[in-house]
Every structure is written in structure tokens, then in C-alpha cells.
Amino acid sequence: MRPATPRRSTRVKLSGMDSIDAAEWALNVPEIDPYKPSPARIYDYWLGGSQNFAVDRQAGEQAMAALPNLQDAIRANRQFLGRVVHHLAADLGVTQFLDLGSGVPTVGNVHEVARYVNPTAKVVYVDIDPVAIAHARALLADVDGVEAILADLRQPDKVLTHPLVRETLDLSAPVAILTFAVFHFIPDDQHPDAMVRAYTEHAAPGSYLAMSHGAPDTVLPREQDTMMNDYAQSTGVRIITRDADQIGGWLTGLDIQPPGLVTIDQWRPEPGIEQPTYAVYGVLAHKPGAPAQTA
């Protein structure tokens, strides 16, 4: 199975390369291995999506068997994403979004939430999984102002200079950088703190960084350890949980917005709806230089 060929359209040329040509070049990757589970496709399965293989479903079921509340936490994280994006668009006036590690398109995409508030909002999705980007490009074929690129978020310079990012977003103006359930896949020796700083340093004053990140489970620690070990064996990708102090240290120089760095169930919950506490932290931070609105 190969990624779908992106639709061609008339685009301005950037650095001598048409943006769609650049995206097609990026998608020129080795054939996808349908027998190796993918974190993006497993996540899609947990959310009830259909863009996954049998091997992804098997790995997802094994992880859920080890940690019974895992799927509920994944879905709570998706709801958290929706609340953050709605808050950014409706209350804080954000019109540009860069979604790092966006995964396979599914219900409640960033552009759907943002454009419910502001139909002119612009979004770029970024993922390293070619299946995720192929499906995203098919979904977005007729959607102006929303793009998807195949890129590695661990290389901020390449992401931020990608032709489709430059064409779609005005990086001299505030942008919301979204990192949901992605940095817990990046070990300390790859310096995720430096990646966060690189994105925020390149962002214009008044920009925002939103993050969710796996935390140590103090209620089901053995079950969480079993799940993470099984996940690493099946996917080859480790999950690294971190505490609030470590995550907060990555945000030095940013203003953490109310209600702070908290578990996702505590972050601006829907009135009258109570959720269990999940081992996932969430935070929204503002880059000073332009006043942060409050609501």
C-alpha cells in the first residue's frame, strides 16, 4: 500500500518548487509495512476510526487489556483537544494552528473545531506516518487554507520552513502550536525540551503552545508499566511518562494560562460533566509580547 497521490492545484511557487510538488516529494517514502503497528493508526483505532490495519488493532487491544481505562483516557484527550482549540478560536481570537503529530484524521479535527468558530481559520497538520498524511490529504483535497505535511516534528527547522507551512500560515503573526499526546514518545536523550523551545522561539509574540502528555499512573502503576512495555515491544516506540515539574520546566519563558498544568479532566471541563482523573497532563501557555486575552 502506498500513500495516495496528492491532488494537484494551481499554487504559487516557493523557492523554485510548487508547494504540491514539495508535498509529493515528501511523500516519496518506502512502501508501508502493514505488519508493523503504527502509533498513529493505533490511536485512530482507540478513537473508533477505520484507518488502521489488523496489526494495529491487535496492538491496541493488547494495550487496553493491560490498562483497562486506556481507551477512556485516549478519548478524554481528544475531548481536551476540542476544548483547547475552541477556547483558542472563540475566546482568544487565534486564527492559525500548527498541529504537530496530528495522526490519522478522525472526528473532531482541529480545523473542524476552529472553523466552527471562525470559518477562515487556517491549519497545518504534521505527522511522520505516511498513512496518516495520505488520508489527511484526501480529506482536505477540497478544503482551502488547511494542509497536511509528512514531516518529523523532531526537526523544527524543517517543519517551519516546509513550503506548505510557509504558504498556509503567516508565522510573523500569532499561531497556536498544538502537541497533543506526542512528546511522551520522545525520550530525554532526544531533548524534547529543546524541541519545544525551538517551536516557541520561532513563533511570533502572542502565540500559544498547547500540550497533553502522559503522566505516571499512581492508581494503576503496574498496569501502566505492563501496557507501556507491551506497546514498546509491538511498535518499537517507547512511551515516557513525566511529572508536572518536568513538563513545566519545558515552558520556561511562557505564561501558563488558567487553570494551569493539570490533568486533562481538570482543564476547563464542560459544566455539569464529571470525568474520572486520567494520568494525562494538559496545559496551555502563552508567549509574551502581546497581551493574552482572558475569558
Fold of the domain spanning 34-286: Rossmann fold (3.40.50)
Confidence of residue 32 (pLDDT cuts 50, 70, 90): low
Minimal CA–CA distance to 33: which of 126, 129, 134, 125?
129
Is 85's pLDDT higher than 60? yes
Q: What is the DSSP string of 115-181?
A: HHH-TT-EEEEEES-HHHHHHHHHHTTT-TTEEEEE--TT-HHHHHT-HHHHHH--TTS--EEEEES
The C-alpha cell of 20 is what?
Answer: 504540491
- Give yes or no for residue 243 having a pLDDT over 70: yes
Each residue of 115-168: pLDDT tens digit? 999 999 999 999 998 888 888 998 898 899 999 999 999 999 999 999 999 999
Res. 63: pLDDT tops 50: yes
Q: What is the pTM of this model?
A: 0.87
Grid cell digits, residue 92: 482568544
Question: What is d(CA 40, CA 63) in angstroms, rounded to the nearest whole number?
Answer: 14
Exposed, middle or buried, 282 (CB in 10 Å: 0-12/13-18/19+)?
Answer: buried
Cβ distance 165 to 149 under 8 Å? yes
Interatomic CA distance for residues 183 and 177, integer angstroms: 13
pLDDT digits (tens, 9 = 90+) for 102-116: 988 777 899 999 999
Mean pLDDT over the full length of the chain: 87
More confident call, 103 vs 67: 67
Q: Where are the domains of the chain?
A: 34-286
Instruction: Give me the mean pLDDT over the 205-222 stretch.
Output: 97
Q: What average pLDDT does the segment 259-273 reach? A: 92
Please state the rounded mean pLDDT for residues 200-207.
Answer: 97
pLDDT tens per residue across span 41-62: 899 899 988 888 899 999 999 9
**17 pLDDT above the threshold of 60:** no
* Distance (Å, whole) CA 277 – CA 47: 19
**Sign of the CA dihedral with 226 first, then 185, 127, and 206 last:** positive
pLDDT higher than 50, residue 5: no
Give residues with Cβ within 8 angstroms of 119, minimum separation 6.
none
